[in-house]
């Protein structure tokens, strides 16, 4: 990516926001009263402007994606400031270290936990939204960065190639793009968590066409509900998680999408086994006790680093 003038990048950061001079003033004045600060997302103005002043007792959760923003000159030294970093995935850690060479900063792949119900209610979901056919499920924001136009294109091509199937694409979330008027595409709008988990319970699989992800919470939720995932393989995080979990397939072209979708839809035993793998992967890596234990380790890392830095030379 070509470099921009520093003033232009600073203007971008200010417009990105949220700008709060009162918060910054408060933290600088009262920071001795706090043992630790946790900053979420490297690209926010609050994180970028405040973390360097509080670096000795800060943990950064970068939520970095492989997009152009991370290559701005603003961030070339930024990832050296935190006392420790909580990465969302192996791929995110590799990306940040490749760009910033911040190997001296301790960190762990932590992720984020999610509250998962004991079970979802497929019958309740189908009755509420009048869905009788088998379906694949998408949950999240519907826009170009999430790969939704690509998903529509691929699914409609799949429908043409499999005209006798009744498989539907069911989507839930806020949209800023038009939804194709097609009998096998159902858009539900924004839904509550209960409906989301009920919908996952009834789905053949979750589809994630996103081009940019640092973790994908709904992917982890699908695995927690023992559902396989079909993901965009051009997104390193999604592909890596599918490989490590053995709970998902991925695609980079239409023929791969169609082949993987047909394989999963037609093979209930395969879906069941991959769903079981996903559940195991979630429990071992992203359940709340695991997340909490990793944060405790990070806090000890910050404390140990502070002791080393305060020791006389």
pTM score of the predicted model: 0.86
**Overall fold of domain 122-284:** Rossmann fold (3.40.50)
Closest CA to 232 of 213, 246, 204, 259: 213
Query: Helical H runs in the chain?
Result: 6-16, 21-30, 45-50, 90-100, 122-129, 148-161, 193-202, 217-224, 236-245, 254-266, 268-285, 288-310
Domain assignments of the chain as residue spans, ordered by start: 6-113+288-310, 122-284
22/7 Cα distance (integer angstroms) = 23
Q: What pLDDT does residue 3 have? A: 66
Which tokens go with 80?
Answer: 């050296």
DSSP assignment of 93-119 equals HHHHHHHH--TTS-EEE--------S-
Query: pLDDT 10s per residue in the chain (313 long)?
Result: 556 787 888 889 899 889 998 998 999 899 999 999 999 999 999 999 999 999 999 999 999 988 888 888 888 899 999 999 999 999 999 999 999 999 999 999 998 888 899 889 999 999 999 999 999 999 999 999 899 999 999 999 999 999 999 999 999 999 999 999 999 999 999 999 999 999 999 999 999 999 888 788 999 999 999 999 999 999 999 999 999 999 999 999 999 999 999 999 999 999 999 999 999 999 999 999 999 999 999 999 898 877 777 666 5
Dihedral sign, CA of 225, 230, 231, 234?
Answer: positive
Beta bridge partners of 212: none
Burial label for 172, CB within 10 Å (0-12, 13-18, 19+), is buried
């Amino acid at each position: 990516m070509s470099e921009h003038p520093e003033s232009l990048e600073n203007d971008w950061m200010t417009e990105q926001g949220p700008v709060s001079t009162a918060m910054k003033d408060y933290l600088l004045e009262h920071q001795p009263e706090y043992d630790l600060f946790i900053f979420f997302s490297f690209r926010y103005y609050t994180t970028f402007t405040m973390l360097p002043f509080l670096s000795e007792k800060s943990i950064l959760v970068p939520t970095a994606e492989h997009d152009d923003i991370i290559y701005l000159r603003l961030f070339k030294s930024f990832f050296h400031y935190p006392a420790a970093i909580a990465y969302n995935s192996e791929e995110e850690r590799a990306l940040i270290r490749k760009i910033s060479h911040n190997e001296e900063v301790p960190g762990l792949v932590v992720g984020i936990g999610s509250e998962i119900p004991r079970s979802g209610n497929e019958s309740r979901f189908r009755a509420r939204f009048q869905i009788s056919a088998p379906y694949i499920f998408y949950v999240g924001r519907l826009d170009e960065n999430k790969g939704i136009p690509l998903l529509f294109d691929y699914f409609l091509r799949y429908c043409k190639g499999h005209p006798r199937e009744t498989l539907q694409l069911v989507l839930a979330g806020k949209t800023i793009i038009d939804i194709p008027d097609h009998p096998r595409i159902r858009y539900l709008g924004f839904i509550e968590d209960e409906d989301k988990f009920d919908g996952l319970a009834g789905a053949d699989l979750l589809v994630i066409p996103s081009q940019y992800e640092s973790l994908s919470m709904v992917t982890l939720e699908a695995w927690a509900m023992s559902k396989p995932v079909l993901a965009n393989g051009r997104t390193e995080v999604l592909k890596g998680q599918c490989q490590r979990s053995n709970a998902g397939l991925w695609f980079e072209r239409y023929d791969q999408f169609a082949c993987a979708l047909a394989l999963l839809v037609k093979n209930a035993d395969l879906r069941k086994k991959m769903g079981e793998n996903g559940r195991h992967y979630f429990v071992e890596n992203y359940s709340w006790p695991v997340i909490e234990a990793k944060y405790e380790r990070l806090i000890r890392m910050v404390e140990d680093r502070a002791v080393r830095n305060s020791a006389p030379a």
